[in-house]
Amino acid sequence: MREFDIIVVGGGHAGIEAACAASNMGCSVGFITMDKLAMGRMSCNPAIGGTAKGHLVREIDALGGMMGIIADRTGIQFRMLNKSKGPAVWSPRCQSDRKLYSEEAYSVVSNTKNLEIVEASVVDIIAEGKKVKGVITATGEQIQCSALVLSSGTFLNGLMHTGLNSVRGGRFGENPAIGITQSLINMGFESGRLKTGTPPRLKKNTINWNILEEQPGDEIPQPFSYQTDINNFPHLPQMSCYITYTDETVHKVLEKGFDESPMFTGRIKGVGPRYCPSIEDKIVRFADKNKHQLFLEPEGLDSDQIYLNGFSTSLPAEIQIEALHKIKGLEEVEMVRPGYAVEYDFFPPSQVDLTLETKLIEGLYFAGQINGTSGYEEAAAQGIVAGINAALKIQGKPEFVLKRSEAYIGVLIDDLVTKSTYEPYRMFTSRAEHRLLLRQDNADRRLMKYGHQFGLIDDKLIEKLSTREDIITKSVKLFENMKLHARNINPFLESKGSSGIDSAETISKLCKRPELTLKEIIGLNGTEQNPVVSSLIADEKALEQVEIELKYEGYIKRQFDMVDRLERYEATKIPLTFDFLTMKALSTEGREKLNKIKPRSIGQASRISGVTPSDISILLVYLKN
């Protein structure tokens, strides 16, 4: 009988991170996937990152995850979104070569030591006395483990819809996973149903590209990963996306298909995401809008397919093609594959703990869409946390939970566990109350120490970071005192349209002027002789950090103050054994919710909807004793 420390079920983005993290931490890992060539397959759009999602990728990378590395090697367009806004919302995004991404993922996984890829379909989970023991595959094989990470994506009882036709499957051309849901329900888990959708794929050479608006990548592309060698980046030739729009004629055609829509006729029971609605949803919900933007995204360097982002649909195929032909540039397009909606089982995430271990079965972890999230990045973020925690548990080490003030990953998991979700959950920067602190540019400063602590980040990287930290600290301190004199700086200020100074001003104060950059200021005569300044000029990344810290000092300080204020609630821990049900003084709703979610801190408890401030006072009373 085969036996591993940890089994990971599902070879998607969550599974890859969980499997790699756990095996790199020294655990033996059995990585079960139905099709090893489908590893890391991008089921939806061929892109990684985007607003808030790009932050997640940077954080995964700082913890020693794989997503950023794979995306850097297989990206065919890199853009930093939101460049016109402040640094906290800059978000890296790339278009990926779908085929290469999957191949690269397979290569990364198969080169990981302690890890064995097992091609199989899991039909049952074995648990003894509320502790996980292993899985049974479709061939009847029993594989044992001490911890199990379930990252089965959209495959649990997956059902794909195009018009009124529905086919069982987790992804186009792939079988669903049957059995796991029932197995979990038998253990006492509660399941739900969600829906997501994907647009049609188009044949590249049937599109009239000449009349479409081009959207190229950044002139100087930036990688996701701290480990990517900037001198050898990007690896692949770069491509553009193109933009087109629907109009009222297109909408009219689509409306014809509404009575055969699995959504509107009630065939689809699952709840879909409001932020990523199907085109038919958009027409109905936003009836006053007479056009919708669409993006034509390349599927890869050699691919003859184009992904029509913004046109997710489950209408009948003939309606899809008819509507496509009314769209500018797509008049003669050939549809390679129609769009479809997929329904799948998920397990409302209030059933897992902040470590992603289920509250019901010890050693069982859920990661990714099974927890109700949508998106590769959200899945990968949970994957790495589940993998690390599974390994820590086996090694008898303290668990790993990121705070909301530390990482988007912390926000993501806290939201899931504390608020649960009834629609697919996607990350947004607006979900992070400490947004100004959780920037993509400082993910390494926030999180790399943890990756290093778990052995997922090597010494070299952490040493580089600590040298940089040293430069940053010294520079910030220096610039708070170092003054520039009017006679030296006023001509420069004038040239920048900035008002002159009377006698002298600190670099720190000057840097706060929006029209000036730190680099320009310290480039003025005299300062570069200072050893701190010269080391700063030599390190672009450190320079960026210092500039942000100085420019937005007031705001950043206020956010830190807020973190401070909230911290005493976060730091007041609630023991796992705490019995909420015996506390008669709690409000009825509060008691039920607390018992269900079993918050780990007063801070978490206060975020549960239905828990009142008086419930919190009462909890504090009990915790004091």
Partner 1 sequence: MTSKSEPVKLDTSRRDELPEDTIVALATPPGIGAISVIRISGQKSFESTDKIFFGKSKIINASSHTIHYGKVSGDGINFIDDVLVSVYRAPNSYTGEDSVEISTHGSPLISKKIIELLLNTDVRMAEPGEFTKRAFLNNRIDLAQAEAVADVINSRTEASLKGARNQLDGVLSNKVHEMRSSLINASSFVELGLDFAEEDIEFINSNELDKRILNIKTEIDKLLSTYSFGKVIRDGVNVALVGQPNVGKSSILNYILKESRAIVSKIPGTTRDVIREEVSIDGILFRLFDTAGIRFSEEEIEKEGILRSRQTIKDSDVVIFIYDVEQKIDTELLNEIYTLISKDKVIVALNKIDILPNTMLKADVYISALTGAGMKELFKKLKAQTFGNSVYSEKTAIVSNLRHYNCLTKANEYLNNARESISNKLSGEFISVDLRNAENSLGEIIGEVTTDDILNNIFMKFCIGK
Among 24, 91, 545, 604, binds partner 1 (CB under 8 A): 91
Among 133, 203, 337, 431, binds partner 1 (CB under 8 A): 431
The answer to the question of residue 203 lying near partner 1 (CB under 8 A) is no
Stretch 520-559: interaction string toward partner 1, x if CB under 8 A: --------------------------------x--x--xx
The answer to the question of residue 162 lying near partner 1 (CB under 8 A) is no
Return the number of the residue (4 or 242) whose C-beta is nearest partner 1.
242
Return the number of the residue (143 or 548) whose C-beta is nearest partner 1.
548
The answer to the question of residue 142 lying near partner 1 (CB under 8 A) is no
Among 172, 233, 258, 428, binds partner 1 (CB under 8 A): 428
How many Cα atoms sit within 13 Å of 171 on the Cβ side? 17
Among 89, 370, 471, 482, binds partner 1 (CB under 8 A): 89
From the list 48-56, 67-75, 119-127, 337-345, the region that binds partner 1 by CB under 8 A is: 48-56
Among 26, 36, 81, 236, binds partner 1 (CB under 8 A): 81
Per residue, the 3-state secondary structure of 144-188, as one string, reads EEEEEEECCHHHECCEEEECCEEEECCECCECCECCHHHHHHHHC
Among 195, 403, 468, 593, binds partner 1 (CB under 8 A): 403
Where in 363-406 does DSSP place strands (E)?
364-366
Nearest to 136 by CA among 104, 93, 91, 182: 182
Return the number of the residue (151 or 559) whose C-beta is nearest partner 1.
559
CA distance 457 to 443: 13
Return the number of the residue (15 or 49) whose C-beta is nearest partner 1.
49
167 neighbors 160 (Cβ within 8 angstroms): yes
4 neighbors 134 (Cβ within 8 angstroms): no
Among 435, 474, 591, 593, binds partner 1 (CB under 8 A): 435
Length of the chain: 625
Among 27, 412, 417, 436, binds partner 1 (CB under 8 A): 436
CB of 245 to partner 1, least distance (A): 8
Return the number of the residue (180 or 342) whose C-beta is nearest partner 1.
342
Among 219, 514, 529, 575, binds partner 1 (CB under 8 A): 514
432 neighbors 89 (Cβ within 8 angstroms): no
CB of 323 to partner 1, least distance (A): 17
Phi-psi region of 302 (alpha: psi -120 to 50; beta: other; left: phi over 0): alpha
198 neighbors 322 (Cβ within 8 angstroms): no
Q: How many CB atoms lie within 10 A of CB 220?
A: 8
Among 293, 467, 499, 525, binds partner 1 (CB under 8 A): 293
Please state, in angstroms and as integers, the Cα–Cα distance from residue 319 to each residue in 262, 323, 324, 557, following that order: 13, 6, 8, 55
Contacts of 103 (CB under 8 A, 6+ apart): none
The answer to the question of residue 568 lying near partner 1 (CB under 8 A) is yes
Strand partners, 48: 94
Nearest to 523 by CA among 507, 542, 505: 507
Nearest to 97 by CA among 329, 309, 383, 307: 307
Among residue numbers 222 through 281, which ones bind partner 1 (CB under 8 A)?
A: 273-277
Stretch 452-491: interaction string toward partner 1, x if CB under 8 A: -x--------------------------------------
Relative orientation angle of helices 248-256 and 317-324, to the nearest 10 degrees:
170
From the list 104-112, 173-181, 430-438, 487-495, the region that binds partner 1 by CB under 8 A is: 430-438
The answer to the question of residue 111 lying near partner 1 (CB under 8 A) is no
Among 224, 400, 408, 492, binds partner 1 (CB under 8 A): 400
Among 56, 333, 402, 510, binds partner 1 (CB under 8 A): 402
Return the number of the residue (226 or 295) whose C-beta is nearest partner 1.
295
Which residue, chain included where needed, has tokens 């649909």? 313
Phi-psi region of 368 (alpha: psi -120 to 50; beta: other; left: phi over 0): left
Number of residues that bind partner 1 (CB under 8 A): 73
How many Cα atoms sit within 13 Å of 411 on the Cβ side? 23
Among 35, 124, 141, 433, binds partner 1 (CB under 8 A): 433
Return the number of the residue (91 or 162) whose C-beta is nearest partner 1.
91
The answer to the question of residue 613 lying near partner 1 (CB under 8 A) is yes
Among residue numbers 272 through 291, which ones bind partner 1 (CB under 8 A)?
A: 273-277, 282, 285-286, 289
305 neighbors 203 (Cβ within 8 angstroms): yes
